[in-house]
Amino acid sequence: MTVSAPINVNLKCSASYFDHENLVDTNKNIKIGQSRQEANTIERVNRRNRVHDDIEEEAFKEERGELDNGAGLFMQSEHLESIRDISRNVTSRSPLQVSLWGRSLHRVDSYSIVQGLHADTHMYVSEASTGEEAISIWRDLRQVEDVEMDPVSRFKLYSPTNFQDKNGISMVFRTPILMNRIYLWAKEQGSIDLNGLLMDKLYSIGLTTDIGNIKVSDIWAGEIKLASNTGDVMCYGTLEGNVSAVTLGDGDFTARSVVGPQLDVFTDRGDICVWDDCHSETTQLITNTGNITCNRLYSDAKICIKTEGVATLNIISGSVGCVVKNGNIISHIDELTQDSFMEVETGYVIIHIPAQSSRNFRVSLVSPRSLISPHVLNSGEFYVKDGLEHFVTGETGEGDLAPCLTVRCHEGSVSLQSPPVSRSIDTGDESEDGSQLRES
């Protein structure tokens, strides 16, 4: 489905089940929507607890015949019933409902061209009071381009050049649950709202706005591209796929949970924030003068602030390459899977690392000034060379094979903090020969 709206129209799109009369089945939408939300919540918790890693390992062994198939994975009855309905009516047409919400003075004229599986719909919005007046407005647009043979539905919205309405128009789409591609384009102040909770089999999504915001919820697709000139990109629920997002001006990018092969985000003056989990295999976050925040990073990430900003990172597992020209880096690191680095030209770096007994990586610091926890300083090597302070932590259980985090600050300071090692206190008395006596 392709929708192009050249006026200030808010585009809203979501999937829906339809009854035997091709009307929206609200009860079924609510019931299955709640079930999927519960399943998505459980999946986020399992992924955070790394249950999926165990499942994938068991599935691999199962393919080799090392495990009994057992009961497997079950779907809820409503999902099975919906699949039966789809397989039973695979050759039948599915309705696509369009609602145009405006003001009482707005007039809508439309027609559709249907050829095979392809449908082209052209809608004309004006303030004409009669049909004759509307015909006179659209006479020059009577000739429409030839219909392509691609199995896709396209909607084009037209308005006269003197159309002065700047708000109050919304175009709401109710699509079938099985969709292949969705492309939405809203010009001027128009915004886009796409809810994919009930959508399946999406291959590609492309959303573009000029000034308006882009909002997506629970999207799963092979390729997801989001772009706005000055608006914000807001992602709720889980965003899964090859994700690419671009905002210019002061547009921000925010997401709750991201899963998939790649996350690639660029902003000009806007902030980038993943405020829950980022499970993308590779992540690239770049901004000119914005802040970057990742609350739970399970990824191999490349992060760059080209001019000025603050990077706040909580790395649960993965690797990071972070560069900030003017600004700060604040990071908590639990586990690194490969060598990583952080570099600041002007500013400071604050790093919190686990205790040495539970740390699987080494740290190497180079900066004009450094502040290091005493127990970390005592277990490593510290020296001064060419006016710069150098420090390398002690070896971990991995030895020389452990990943190394290299931190460099050209003008500023580096703070390396770690919780102190807890020591148990035994109050037993000692014997005369120095051995400890224990109560029986």
Distance of alpha carbon 220 from the chain centroid = 10
Reply yes or no on whether the pLDDT at 347 is more than 90. Answer: yes
* Measured distance between the N- and C-terminal CA atoms of the chain, rounded to whole angstroms: 79
- Separation in Å, CA 388 to CA 328, 366, 374, 383, 413: 19, 6, 19, 9, 10
Reply yes or no on whether the pLDDT at 399 is more than 70. Answer: no
Q: What is the pLDDT of residue 437?
A: 35
- Separation in Å, CA 46 to CA 40, 184, 270: 10, 33, 32
Query: Dihedral of the CA atoms 375, 376, 378, 383 (nearest 10)?
Result: -150
Do residues 343 and 385 lie in contact, with contact meaning Cβ atoms separated by under 8 Å?
A: no
Average pLDDT over residues 292-296: 93
Helix (H) or strand (E) holding 392: strand 388-392
Do residues 164 and 142 lie in contact, with contact meaning Cβ atoms separated by under 8 Å?
A: no
β pairing state of 181-186 and 2-5: parallel
Distance CA 28, CA 34 (A): 10
Q: What is the pLDDT of residue 25?
A: 85
Backbone dihedral angles phi then psi of residue 356, each to the nearest 5 degrees = -60, -35
Strand partners, 370: 414
Q: What is the pLDDT of residue 422?
A: 60
- Percent over 70 (pLDDT), the chain: 75
Distance CA 130, CA 21 (A): 32
Distance of alpha carbon 111 from the chain centroid = 37
Which of these ranges, 2-6, 90-94, 181-185, has the smallest mean pLDDT? 90-94
In the chain, domain spans: 310-420
Banded model confidence at residue 52, pLDDT cuts 50, 70, 90: low
- Separation in Å, CA 115 to CA 112, 119, 152: 10, 6, 10
- Write out pLDDT tens, residues 204-241: 999 999 888 999 999 999 999 999 999 999 999 899 99
Banded model confidence at residue 79, pLDDT cuts 50, 70, 90: very low
Reply yes or no on whether the pLDDT at 183 is more than 70. Answer: yes
Distance CA 196, CA 94 (A): 17
Q: What is the DSSP string of 308-373?
A: EEEEEEEESSSEEEEEEEEEEEEEEES--SS-EEEEEEEEEEEEE---GGG--SEEEEEESEEEE-
Residues near 21 by beta carbon (within 8 Å), at least 6 away in sequence: none
Banded model confidence at residue 194, pLDDT cuts 50, 70, 90: very high
The pLDDT mean for the chain works out to: 79
Distance CA 251, CA 255 (A): 13
Q: What is the pLDDT of residue 272?
A: 95
Count of beta carbons in the 10 Å neighbourhood of residue 172: 15
Sequence-ordered alpha helix ranges (H) in 20-164: 26-48, 51-63, 77-88, 131-138
The angle at the Cα of 400, spanning 394 to 405, to the nearest 5 degrees, equals: 65
Distance CA 77, CA 328 (A): 52
Distance CA 290, CA 161 (A): 37
- Write out pLDDT tens, residues 275-286: 989 999 999 999
SS3 string, 171-237, reads EEEEECCECCEEEEEECCCCCEEEECCCCECCCEEEEEECCCCEEEEEEEEEEEEEEECCCCEEEEE
* DSSP 8-class letter at 148: P
Burial of 247 (0-12, 13-18, 19+ CB in 10 A): buried
Reply yes or no on whether the pLDDT at 351 is more than 70. Answer: yes
